[in-house]
Amino acid sequence: MAASTTETPVGRVKPSRLIDLEQHKDERGCISVAESQWTAGFPIRRVYFLHDLTDGTSRGGHAHRELEQLFIAAHGGFTIHVDDGHQRAEYRLDTPGTALYVGPMVWRDLRDFTPGGVCLVLASHHYDEADYYREYEDFLRDSRRHA
């Protein structure tokens, strides 16, 4: 079950939000569906996943200028912290039936991965290093400038 520790939206450009994925269940199991415009709200141009993570590792630690993403716990679970320079929230994703949308200008940190956990990420753009904020102070400066 995905849960947030706050009801305050994080993301001044486009707020972060939980999305219930379309699911089809029968006696054989379940299929969870994420489609570009209908589910994500953006065209999906890149798909990647985090796996074989060492105990205690964290991922993310950056923000994007334009990129939009859906995060899905494909197996196991993890916690994602989001911060737009004004508001912060924390979400625990531990079911493949729920995704977390994270838009542009939101710092993200992923932690507390369960053993064998897999984080599936659907992204609106191909990899572009120029889109990244790698330094939190640079991100804060720009996020607060556009407030």
The catalytic residue positions are 62
Q: 90 to each of 22, 29, 72, 80, 82, how far by Cα in Å? A: 23, 30, 15, 6, 6
Tokens of 134: 């790698």
Rounded CA-CA distance 102/132 in Å is 14
